[in-house]
């Protein structure tokens, strides 16, 4: 099962003490040197003293994503032209952080999900060489990007291969490989615990719900940070059924959990000091004679009852039991949940930023800063208690939907009802950024792995 952890990429990146014979020389310039360089990512070829030189242009404007995006564009060129070897001729005016971002873009840009395509046999593999001065930096960035690419790969896998049961089996393999503790709670254990919300969502599927807990003990004895991820392995909408075209791509409704798993893997490899717990709330939301229905009343793990308004507002149901479990089992210093929660967040923020509903300004400010650095950007959602009024149940304590208006906010406010005010908590709605139809400079179309680099940076800084 090594292939599910070590995801193959389209080319390799290595370090060397000197330029290999016959390698294409790669140069990066920030000033347009000829008419061919007009916008970021433009390139031109020339003949140098010892072979071909390809020059890439950064563009005129700079931000924290400039070199990362350029790395992705260089990766696209390598994948398209398949040079045997390329050697980057480093310009010492480029700052170390920009080199780090460039390497990140190259590593992320080297990924494509083509496992089920008939791929033409490539006569030779491509290798990009960096100077040995960047060996340590490359090793660190590779750990992070390998975790992102694994999360992307798993997110791409369809529901015929990844369901709550098979996902738990994969996670057990992951945990064993990276020295993590893994506990799988099956539907019988969840029912006995009283976790009726996560059970309800999965009861219409032939593969019942699972809650999978992954623990990294860290280097310090302190309270853990708990990450909670939504893993709806397929979402039909249940009896509040989605239109058929809206079901396409619902394999990506597990991207929040994939981000949590990516963080857990990278944190273990990088030997983070903080103890971290990842809670994966897995279910498949299907239609059958056993499916939960609108008007059903569910008993959550917290003891609060929930009136079902929409069976397509299922993500918050699996998460609310996960959030409760986090507080019952651990004494967390902070909780962050990641979920493809609402289409309303896509309407509000498009495919640029994730929405964050947070109970402490300091925590949001930290996440915002990490988002600007990693270019996994976030924006704060309001959390006025007026929104919670929309969630008061008629026949139960709560209802699982407050209607269309303000849906990203009411989705987050629903989860807030399950978190103690004294615990710093953030809900990150990644619905608009978890998978992209056209991709980005360094993310192929499909799953992006959004959230992994953001959370890792936040953990390192705070």
Three-state secondary structure of 3-37 = HHCCCCCCEEEEEECCCCCCCEEEEEECCCCCCCC
Please tell me the predicted confidence (pLDDT) of residue 446: 97
Cross-strand pairs, 439:
none
Average pLDDT rounded to a whole number, residues 70-76: 98
Phi (first) and psi of residue 397, to 5 degrees: -65, -45
Please tell me the predicted confidence (pLDDT) of residue 50: 84
Give the model's confidence band at 178: pLDDT under 50 very low, under 70 low, under 90 confident, else very high.
very high
Distance between CA 206 and CA 288 in Å, rounded?
Answer: 9
Please tell me the predicted confidence (pLDDT) of residue 29: 95
Give the model's confidence band at 448: pLDDT under 50 very low, under 70 low, under 90 confident, else very high.
very high
Phi (first) and psi of residue 448, to 5 degrees: -100, -25
Q: Which two tokens stand for residue 457?
A: 């940076």
Distance between CA 172 and CA 174 in Å, rounded?
Answer: 5
Give the model's confidence band at 347: pLDDT under 50 very low, under 70 low, under 90 confident, else very high.
very high
Query: Would you list which residues are annotated within the binding site?
Result: 230, 235, 253, 312, 314
Give the model's confidence band at 125: pLDDT under 50 very low, under 70 low, under 90 confident, else very high.
confident
Residue 153, helix vs strand vs coil: helix
Distance between CA 271 and CA 292 in Å, rounded?
Answer: 42
Please tell me the predicted confidence (pLDDT) of residue 119: 73
Closest CA to 269 of 1, 3, 4, 6: 6
Average pLDDT rounded to a whole number, residues 263-285: 98
For the structural domain made of 1-142, what CATH number should be given? Answer: 3.40.220.10
Average pLDDT rounded to a whole number, residues 85-90: 97
Whether pLDDT at 122 is above 70 = no
Q: Locate the domains of the chain by residue range.
A: 1-142, 157-461
Report the share of the chain in percent with pLDDT over 90. 93
Q: Which two tokens stand for residue 392?
A: 């008061």
Q: Which of 113-117, 225-229, 375-379, 406-410 has the lowest mean pLDDT?
A: 113-117
Whether pLDDT at 3 is above 90 = no
Please tell me the predicted confidence (pLDDT) of residue 33: 75
SS (H, E, C) 92-129: CCCCHHHHHHHHHHHHHHCCCCCCCCCCCCCCCCEEEE
Please tell me the predicted confidence (pLDDT) of residue 1: 65
Give the model's confidence band at 371: pLDDT under 50 very low, under 70 low, under 90 confident, else very high.
very high
- Show which residues are catalytic: 242, 316
Query: Would you list which residues are annotated within the binding site for Mn(2+)?
Result: 230, 235, 253, 312, 314
Claim: this prediction has a pTM higher than 0.85: yes
Give the model's confidence band at 184: pLDDT under 50 very low, under 70 low, under 90 confident, else very high.
very high
Please tell me the predicted confidence (pLDDT) of residue 123: 60
Cross-strand pairs, 131:
16
Burial 31-47 (b: 16+ CB within 10 A, else e): eeeeeebeebbbbeeee
Give the model's confidence band at 246: pLDDT under 50 very low, under 70 low, under 90 confident, else very high.
very high
Give the model's confidence band at 118: pLDDT under 50 very low, under 70 low, under 90 confident, else very high.
confident
Closest CA to 383 of 419, 432, 332: 419
Please tell me the predicted confidence (pLDDT) of residue 152: 98
Whether pLDDT at 34 is above 90 = no
Domain 157-461, classified CATH 3.40.630.10, yes or no: yes
Please tell me the predicted confidence (pLDDT) of residue 32: 78
Average pLDDT rounded to a whole number, residues 249-273: 98
Distance between CA 313 and CA 46 in Å, rounded?
Answer: 57
Average pLDDT rounded to a whole number, residues 205-226: 96
Q: Please state, in angstroms and as integers, the Cα–Cα distance from residue 94 to each residue in 67, 99, 141, 166, following that order.
A: 10, 7, 17, 45
């Amino acid at each position: 099962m090594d292939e599910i952890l070590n995801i193959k990429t389209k080319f390799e990146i290595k370090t060397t003490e000197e330029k290999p014979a016959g390698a294409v020389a790669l140069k990066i310039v920030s000033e347009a040197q000829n008419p061919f360089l007009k916008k970021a990512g433009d390139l031109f070829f020339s003949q140098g003293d010892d072979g071909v030189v390809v020059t890439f242009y950064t563009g005129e404007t700079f931000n924290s994503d400039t070199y990362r995006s350029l790395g992705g564009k260089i990766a696209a060129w390598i994948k398209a032209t398949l040079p045997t070897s390329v050697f980057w001729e480093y310009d010492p005016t480029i700052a170390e952080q920009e080199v780090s971002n460039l390497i990140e873009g190259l590593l992320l840009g080297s990924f494509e999900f083509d496992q089920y395509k008939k791929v033409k046999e490539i006569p030779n593999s491509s290798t990009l060489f960096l100077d040995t001065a960047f060996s340590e930096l490359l090793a660190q960035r590779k750990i992070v990007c390998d975790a992102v690419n694994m999360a992307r790969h798993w997110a791409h896998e369809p529901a015929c291969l990844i369901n709550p049961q098979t996902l738990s089996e994969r996670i057990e393999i992951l945990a064993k490989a990276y020295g993590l503790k893994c506990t799988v709670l099956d539907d019988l254990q969840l029912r006995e615990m009283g976790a009726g919300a996560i059970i309800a969502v999965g009861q219409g599927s032939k593969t019942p719900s699972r809650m999978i807990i992954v623990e990294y003990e860290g280097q310090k004895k302190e309270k853990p940070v708990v990450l909670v991820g939504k893993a709806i392995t397929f979402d039909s909408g249940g009896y509040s059924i989605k239109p058929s075209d809206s079901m396409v791509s619902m394999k990506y409704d597990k991207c929040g959990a994939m981000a949590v798993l990516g963080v857990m893997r990278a944190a273990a490899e990088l030997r983070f000091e903080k103890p971290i717990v990842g809670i994966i709330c897995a279910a498949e939301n299907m239609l059958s004679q056993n499916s939960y229905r609108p008007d059903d009343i569910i008993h959550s793990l917290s003891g609060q009852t929930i009136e079902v308004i929409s069976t397509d507002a299922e993500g918050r149901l699996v998460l609310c039991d996960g959030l409760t479990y986090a507080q019952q089992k651990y004494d967390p210093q902070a909780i962050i949940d990641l979920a493809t929660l609402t289409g309303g967040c896509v309407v509000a923020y498009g495919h640029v930023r994730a929405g964050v509903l947070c109970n402490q300004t300091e925590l949001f400010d930290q996440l915002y800063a990490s988002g600007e650095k990693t270019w996994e950007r976030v924006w704060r959602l309001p959390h006025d208690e007026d929104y919670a009024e929309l969630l008061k149940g008629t026949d139960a304590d709560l209802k699982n939907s407050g209607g269309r208006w303000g849906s990203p906010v009411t989705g987050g406010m629903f989860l807030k009802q399950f978190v103690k005010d004294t615990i710093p908590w953030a809900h990150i709605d990644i619905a608009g950024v978890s998978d992209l139809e056209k991709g980005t400079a360094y993310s192929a179309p499909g799953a992006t792995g959004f959230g992994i680099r953001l959370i890792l940076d936040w953990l390192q800084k705070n």
